[in-house]
Every structure is written in C-alpha cells, then in structure tokens.
Amino acid sequence: MSEKARRLFDALDLNADGELTRVEVITALRSKGPTLAARDVLPMWAVGDVDASSALFDAADANGDEVLTFEEFEAVVDRRFGW
C-alpha cells in the first residue's frame, strides 16, 4: 500500500465513508489542493481545474460504478504521480 495514496485518499474522502465520488474528488481538490500540495500529499502539477479532477476520477474508476474504492484510486495515483 502506498502511504501517499492513502493520505491523499483520506484527504479527499470528505464524508469519511471509505469511498470517493466524483463530487468529492472535484470539491476536495479545488478546496484543499494547494494545501495538500504544500504538505507534499499531492504533486503541485496535479492541482488542476474541474476537468482535470474529473479526468483523474474517470481514470481511476476501473469498474465504471461512479465510486472509487481505495484500491482503484491507489492503482492510478501511484502510477500517475510516480509514487
């Protein structure tokens, strides 16, 4: 398990239910993105707009159910962010 992926997932999981929705990812990255980047939880270049956040969600949603589990999320962010 990637510790950085876990920290980022937990920061984006606004309702702490163990899953991420598209709205959570977009909302959290827009509101917390710069702070997460400053804390080295997220690469600065990954702090993007709504389209970039939505694209990250789509890339991670392996089964297309519109909800991300940690395992789906980890597989994509570890590869995309080089962790």
2 pLDDT higher than 90: no
Q: Using one digit for the tens of pLDDT, what is the confidence trace for 20-54?
A: 999 999 999 889 988 988 998 888 877 778 888 88
**Neighbouring residues of 33: CB distance < 8 A, sequence distance ≥ 6:** 42, 46, 47, 48
| Residue-number span of the structural domain to which 13 is assigned | 3-81
Residues in the chain, overall count: 83
Q: What is the average pLDDT value for the chain, to the nearest integer?
A: 90
**What span, in angstroms and rounded, lies between the C-alpha atoms of 78 and 49?**
20
What CATH code is carried by the domain that includes residue 48? 1.10.238.10
Number of domains in the chain: 1
Give the other-Cβ count within 10 Å of 64's Cβ: 7
Nearest to 56 by CA among 81, 82, 31, 19: 81
State residue 79's pLDDT score. Answer: 87
State residue 17's pLDDT score. Answer: 98
**40 SS3 class:** coil
